[in-house]
Amino acid sequence: MRANFVDTVMARLDGEVATIWATVLLRLEDRPDVALLRRGLRALVRENERLNVAWNDARRAWVPAVRGDVEVDAVLVEGAEPLSEPDAVARIINTRVDLTRDVPLRLHLHPMVDAAQGPWLLGIQLHHAIGDAKALAHLLERLWLLCAGRGSESRPLEPSTLTDGKVLLAALRQPGRVLGLASPRRRLLAQRGMGLRRSGDTAGHALLATARLTLPQGDTDLQASEVFFSALLAGVALRESPADGRIRLRMPVDLRRMLGLGRTLGNGCSAVPIELSLKEVRSRLEAPRELARFLRSEVQRVLDEGVHWTTALECMAVARLVPARVLRKNARPGLIAEPRTNTLVVTYLGRMDTHFTEAPFRIRSMRSHTATWGATGLSFADTLNINTAAFQGLWTREELRDFTERVAGWASSGFGLRAEVLAP
């Protein structure tokens, strides 16, 4: 078992610490039934061989490791001390897990001091080498059925069948995708784009803030994904110096759907660079819907060019052919654990309600976190949550809050949305 594409390159550089955790954070109305969750988790781990693995430091690889009930029960960690949401979130996203021993899936349950927002917080994490955020959503759908004793109503998730061979064959159907490797604009690992200003060069503890926007009912012209991406672009443009340059985002594109692979437990995204002129973005800051249309056309152009196949080929070639010494010497900061990156990684997860309709508890609100310098967006109920992430040492808490407030303020004034900011 291994990760795919840029995750493979990162694993060669830094082992298990390089690959990130996909995290969803839920505020609950009541304390969940812990015994019920543990029974469901036991069944979930038993039926998924991809969860029965451990990291082997000597081999720098994932190896089979069958888990017993005691090990699976330890997946759910219960906190006794009531915490504020910022403190609980910081504890969850900064907890180190010994992947040579522990299951690469983790649940954290904490009582909250500010009970009015939901007296309990449940954090759910999946290691990205096992599966990405989309896989985590499908895994949770399965967990809810197992908790209810209804496992027979759907099939267990199959291990990922996305292979280098399938990607290579798909890419070769259009030779331009291979020739695209000659262009730095189409390469994920190229030294391009504007580096965001930062406080230092050492990545410390992870930080999370959220801009929560209330979406209007009935506005079919306003898409949550476009608000997410355009608000982030505006935040960058408002924060950075007015000098001309390129804003370079990294955006994951799911290859599973394009290859017809369906619901599997794995990570199937190839990251693509989205380059935008800072001047072009600035010229549209007073016209939010125009900025959203501009961004949509640029993203569609990148997809039409098949850059997601080009970057997949690039990472496959680098991971397989480049000696470890050369790889580490020439690796960009975005690929090594310290320092991390100055190119924002942006992921829109889509509407999450459907993945939690069968959950054995009532959810008041939802946030997400991925340990990168970037942002994840999701829609839940009537809200769009823009979850910004950084590391202490690259940005301070105040810098992350300032950036998130700029994102929220621009989206609120430009699209007429009610906004609040949750920040450490």
- List the chain pLDDT tens, one digit each, 424 residues: 445 666 676 666 666 555 578 999 999 999 999 999 999 999 999 999 999 999 888 887 789 999 999 999 999 999 999 999 999 999 999 998 888 999 999 999 999 998 888 999 999 999 988 888 999 999 999 999 999 999 999 999 988 888 888 888 888 888 777 777 788 888 777 766 556 777 776 778 889 999 999 998 766 667 899 999 999 999 999 988 766 688 888 899 988 888 888 888 888 888 888 889 999 999 999 999 999 999 999 999 999 999 998 888 888 888 887 787 777 777 666 655 555 555 678 999 999 999 999 999 999 999 999 877 789 999 999 999 999 998 888 889 999 999 999 999 999 999 999 999 999 8
- The CA-CA-CA angle for residues 85, 86, 90, to 5°, reads 115
Contact 335, 9 (CB under 8 A): yes
Under DSSP, the state recorded for 153 is: G
Taking the CA atoms of residue 200, residue 203, residue 204 and residue 205 in that order, the dihedral angle to the nearest 10 degrees is 120
204 in Cβ contact with 393 (< 8 Å): yes
User: Degrees (nearest 5) of the Cα angle 320, 322, 327?
Assistant: 120
Under a CB-based contact definition with an 8 Å cutoff, are residues 236 and 410 in contact? no
How far is residue 384 from each of residues 128, 135, 419, measured CA to CA in Å?
23, 21, 9
Please give the Cα distance from 86 to 72 (Å, whole number): 27
> Helix and strand tally (H, E) in the chain?
14, 16
Closest CA to 368 of 104, 128, 103: 128
Provide the Cα torsion 318, 324, 327, 331; round to 10°. 120
Task: Give Dmax over CA atoms of the chain in angstroms.
Answer: 59
Rounded CA-CA distance 388/399 in Å is 11
pLDDT at 222: 78
The pairing of strands 363-370 and 21-28 is antiparallel
Note the pLDDT of residue 1. 43
Please report the pLDDT score of residue 10 as a whole number.
67
* Beta strand 418-422 pairing with 206-214: antiparallel
Is 316:170 a contact under the CB 8 Å cutoff? Answer: no
Considering just the CA atoms, what is the radius of gyration of the chain in Å? 21
Give the number of C-alpha atoms closer than 13 A to the C-alpha of residue 190, restricted to the C-beta side: 21
Q: Which residues contact 91 (CB under 8 A, 6 or more apart)?
A: 79, 83, 108, 110
